Structure 1
């Protein structure tokens, strides 16, 4: 196995679950999410267009696909610190994968780390909208 290869989508999800297990309470988990969001690569201002905007999110979110069905890459950003952290998790699981893998991967980490219970309804809806748009891009590429 190539050590430099990124982990599979399933392994990425397990890594996320393991990382969140280190934090005893949700105050620490939210801080970790915010820290992850701050580590997102710079997002080009010229890509903050209506075409790439994810609707259904209370905060502003942009998701830009590139690549093709064999390897899709995503760039994303939000004006919300916590949502940017969610984006960082989603990109770890779904970016740089084949369209087929993206469509086949269920976001089980959301439930596994307790996000489903701790996000506000508007953030949960936004996360669902982001995943739906990401999978729609993958379906179109596939």
Structure 2
């Protein structure tokens, strides 16, 4: 149930032979992502449980279960910015109900991220996914 943008990332990962190339691609995705304005880098948007500093700012269009989910994010680490970009591709544009149905672990496993991220980075990705799901659940309720 991944978005077209995430499918494009997955296809690129399939094309890239080794993890070094994939790692560079994740960093490139992060570089291409717009920075979060300094005014939004506040405790309310900060994601706890990440080794790096991470901020996620939800952007919801509409109300209730059909509301469309989007977010902006940023980090002080380039690889984490890339991971945020991947999560953005996975979740943005879905309804909040669809966001709650996405098996993020399985989708990210398709990219081989579980095998190549440190435990701290993996915990950070889980914390970001939990924050995204929390925001979606609040709107869906």
Same fold (TM over 0.5): yes
Kindly report the root-mean-square deviation, in angstroms, between the aligned alpha carbons of the 2 structures: 1.4
| Structure 1 residues 66 and 11: CA distance shift in structure 2, 3 A | closer
Partners of 1:132 and 1:16 in 2: CA distance: 21
Structure 2: give runs of 5+ residues left out of the alignment: none
**Residues 110-142 of structure 1, C-alpha deviations (whole Å, 9 max, x = no match):** 111110010000000000000000000000011
Deviation at 1:10, TM superposition (A): 4.5
CA contact (8 A) 1:57 1:123 kept: yes
User: Aligned to 2:70, what secondary structure does the other structure show?
Assistant: strand
User: Aligned to 1:76, what secondary structure does the other structure show?
Assistant: strand
Structure 1: give runs of 5+ residues left out of the alignment: 1-7
Within the alignment, does 1:29 sit opposite 2:8 as a pair? Answer: no
CA contact (8 A) 1:56 1:126 kept: yes
Partners of 1:72 and 1:110 in 2: CA distance: 19
The equivalent of 1:78 in structure 2 is: 75
The equivalent of 1:50 in structure 2 is: 43
| Structure 1 residues 13 and 66: CA distance shift in structure 2, 3 A | closer
Partners of 2:3 and 2:70 in 1: CA distance: 17
Q: 2:57 aligns with which of 52, 64, 70?
A: 64
Please, what TM-score do these two structures have when normalized by structure 2? Answer: 0.90
Partners of 1:15 and 1:43 in 2: CA distance: 24
The ranges of structure 1 where at least 4 consecutive aligned residues each deviate by more than 6 angstroms after the TM superposition are none
Q: 1:105 aligns with which of 63, 88, 102?
A: 102
CA contact (8 A) 1:16 1:109 kept: no
Please, what TM-score do these two structures have when normalized by structure 1? Answer: 0.89
Q: 2:89 aligns with which of 88, 92, 106?
A: 92
